[in-house]
Amino acid sequence: MDSTSDEESFVAVADFVATLMNEGQAKTALAENTGSKFLEECTALLAESRFDQYLSKMLLQLDLMFSKSSDKGTSALLGAEADSKQAAHLNTKWSFIADAECVANVLVHCIQRVPAEKVAPAVQAFAAALVAKVCPLVWLQMVVQAVVGRSAWLQLIAIIIICVTWYSPCSWLCRRCRLDPAWLQVDERAEERLGALLNLYGALQAHHTEQRKVLLAAADYARRGPRLAAMLVPAVRGKSNDWVAQWGLDEAQTRELLIALATLVKEYQRLVTAALGLCPAGDTAAITQLRVMAIAAITDFVRNTTLFQADFAASPAVQALANEPATQQVHALFTSMLSGDLASFRAAATTAALEAAGTNADAALSKARMLALLALCGKSSQAEVSYAEVEKALDVPPEAVEFWIVKAIGAKLLEAKIDQVHGVIAVSRCTQRTFGKPEWGMLRTQLDSWIAALKGVQSTIAAHTGNGAAATAALETGMSTLTTTVR
């Protein structure tokens, strides 16, 4: 758009809103009514290039636009009494304005005409206006979740009871009394509001700070309903690392971004691990910021029957849960399960801890045994593990040993060959339950042994062939790469 078409669009939108403001009012020959005054003021602001003030006035009417504009076009606004000439005129004038989303998109374009020093407050006001209206059922769900916990069935039962005993009678009473309280209005334009937020985000390529704030606002808004989350996820999936680099975020800002995205996308575990890994020891503010995520991470690990790696276990935010009375038991259950020590797990698997984690004794014991097998195979420096060792570590009868080994191989947690004759398994790969400094040290030791073996091969080639220069050079390059990776 050039500047002329921009201003024409801005005037057309103001005219459109003015008509919405006059809807239902008695027709008069006088020009002085609410809508005409509004249009006159907006036109004057545009003529003086005061785009920030124009935008402020329009944002005050944003709820009106979303609540009264119709996807059916201008006929719904004019009503049955409008003559054909008036309808044709207005349909031509507003031909590009199909619905509230189009109006919002024109206002998003206005941000680019706002002076640079006023962009930040304008963006903040725009985002706040878009997310201001919340369906009361969203707040009801939040309250219910805080009271009854994470159980979906309990939440559903509580919401049904409240709707039957409170919400429906209140709605009936308001209809009888011709009342329309804001707290009973349901925003049916949530998708359009989120779409406008995403368009606002896209219009701020040159303003990284404001762009990040709009993205956080969009993520918070999308958590209010599954349809909104499904709408936002494709726009944010797999981009967190790019944003961190592009925006030059510090640790606190990166944590904030990862926390916002973690509850929306399927990369949940990766984002949680990354966020908890950005918690310096002794940083009280970071520990407090990550507390809720740390609790969710350990309970999800205990409950999830397909998750066997927890690199976040060493995070100070997770370790701090051991000192809180409300989380001590579930933290003890998590650490004992992750350690692979069946004895300590049985001691920590109290009824209260299992209920706090949202699991049962049988499921938790099954997962603890699998982790015990991984612990046994992972810490062994030798390639073979005996059946007797597995029997002892898992606390199972001899006839159940192969069942657990096959189960681990089937879940791709282990790569091993079973030797039934000698009663051993030859482990070639084992999933690490955590990957911290000890695991890096073990990997370094293994690579050092490989490097030594390669040097032996190099010496053999050099001693027994006169044409081994190329092979020797290739081996030296490989050893250099391995050494650099480990160091």
pLDDT in tens, 369-402: 999 999 998 875 557 899 999 999 999 999 999 9
| pLDDT tier at 167, thresholds 50, 70, 90 | very low
pLDDT of 166 strictly over 50: no
- Which range in 72-76, 324-328, 433-437 is most confidently predicted, on average pLDDT? 324-328
Residue with tokens 């609410």: 34
pLDDT of 336 strictly over 90: yes
Q: Is 123 exposed, middle or buried (0-12, 13-18, 19+ CB in 10 A)?
A: buried
pLDDT of 407 strictly over 70: yes
Query: 144 or 461: which carries more pLDDT confidence?
Result: 461
| pLDDT tier at 175, thresholds 50, 70, 90 | very low
pLDDT of 351 strictly over 80: yes
Largest CA distance in the chain: 108
pLDDT of residue 484: 52
pLDDT of 354 strictly over 90: yes
Pairing of strands 424-430, 384-386: antiparallel
pLDDT of residue 158: 56
pLDDT of residue 452: 75
pTM (2 decimals)?
0.65
| pLDDT tier at 265, thresholds 50, 70, 90 | confident
417 forms beta bridges with: 426
| pLDDT tier at 235, thresholds 50, 70, 90 | confident
| Pairwise CA distance, residues 83 & 27, whole Å | 14
pLDDT of residue 187: 57
Query: 401 or 164: which carries more pLDDT confidence?
Result: 401
Average pLDDT (426-445) is: 73
pLDDT of 71 strictly over 50: no
Measured between alpha carbons, how far is residue 302 from residues 24, 221, 289, 456, 477 in Å? 59, 29, 22, 46, 44
Average pLDDT (56-60) is: 91
pLDDT of residue 2: 52
| Pairwise CA distance, residues 432 & 371, whole Å | 10
Contact 295, 321 (CB under 8 A): yes
| pLDDT tier at 184, thresholds 50, 70, 90 | very low
Share above pLDDT 90 across residues of the chain, in percent, rounded to a whole number: 36
- Least confident segment among 205-219, 232-246, 434-448: 434-448
Instruction: List, for residues 73-121, the tens digit of each pLDDT value.
Output: 444 344 434 444 444 444 444 444 446 777 888 889 899 899 999 999 9
Query: 1 or 332: which carries more pLDDT confidence?
Result: 332
Query: 445 or 290: which carries more pLDDT confidence?
Result: 290
| pLDDT tier at 480, thresholds 50, 70, 90 | low
Average pLDDT (254-263) is: 88
Residue 270: how many other CB atoms lie within 10 Å: 16
| Pairwise CA distance, residues 200 & 460, whole Å | 66
Show Cβ contacts of residue 368 under 8 Å, excluding neighbours closer than 6 positions: 336, 337, 340, 342, 345, 349
pLDDT of 439 strictly over 70: no
| Pairwise CA distance, residues 62 & 69, whole Å | 10
Share above pLDDT 70 across residues of the chain, in percent, rounded to a whole number: 70
Query: 401 or 16: which carries more pLDDT confidence?
Result: 401
| pLDDT tier at 476, thresholds 50, 70, 90 | low
Q: What angle do CA 88, 90, 94 make, to 5 degrees?
A: 120
| pLDDT tier at 31, thresholds 50, 70, 90 | low
pLDDT of residue 62: 85
419 forms beta bridges with: 424
Q: What integer best gives the mean pLDDT of the chain?
A: 78
pLDDT of 361 strictly over 90: yes
| Pairwise CA distance, residues 365 & 68, whole Å | 57
Question: Which tokens hold the place of 229?
Answer: 């989350």
Query: 87 or 475: which carries more pLDDT confidence?
Result: 475
The amino acid at 262: A
pLDDT of 299 strictly over 90: yes
| Pairwise CA distance, residues 13 & 459, whole Å | 80
| Pairwise CA distance, residues 17 & 96, whole Å | 14
Question: Which tokens hold the place of 454?
Answer: 């390669």
pLDDT of residue 316: 94
pLDDT of 137 strictly over 50: no
pLDDT of residue 182: 36
What HEC string does the chain produce?
Answer: CCHHHHHHHHHHHHHHHHHHHHCCCCCCCCCCCHHHHHHHHHHHHHHCCCHHHHHHHHHCCHHHHHHHCCCCCCHHHHCCCCCHHHHHHHHHHCCCCCCHHHHHHHHHHHHHHCCHHHHHHHHHHHHHHHHCCCCHHHHHHHHHHHHHCCCHHHHHHHHHHHHHHHHHHHHHHHHHCCCCCHHHCCCCCHHHHHHHHHHHHHCCCCCHHHHHHHHHHHHHHHCCCHHHHHHHHHHHCCCHHHHHHHHCCCHHHHHHHHHHHHCCCCCHHHHHHHHHCCCCCCCHHHHHHHHHHHHHHHHHHHHCCCCCCCHHHHCHHHHHHHHCCCCHHHHHHHHHHHHCCHHHHHHHCCHHHHHHHCCCHHHHHHHHHHHHHHHHHHHCCCCEEEHHHHHHHHCCCHHHHHHHHHHHHHCCCEEEEEECCCCEEEEEEECCCCCCHHHHHHHHHHHHHHHHHHHHHHHHHHHHCCCCHHHHHHHHHHHHHHHHHHC
Query: 463 or 214: which carries more pLDDT confidence?
Result: 214
pLDDT of 127 strictly over 80: yes
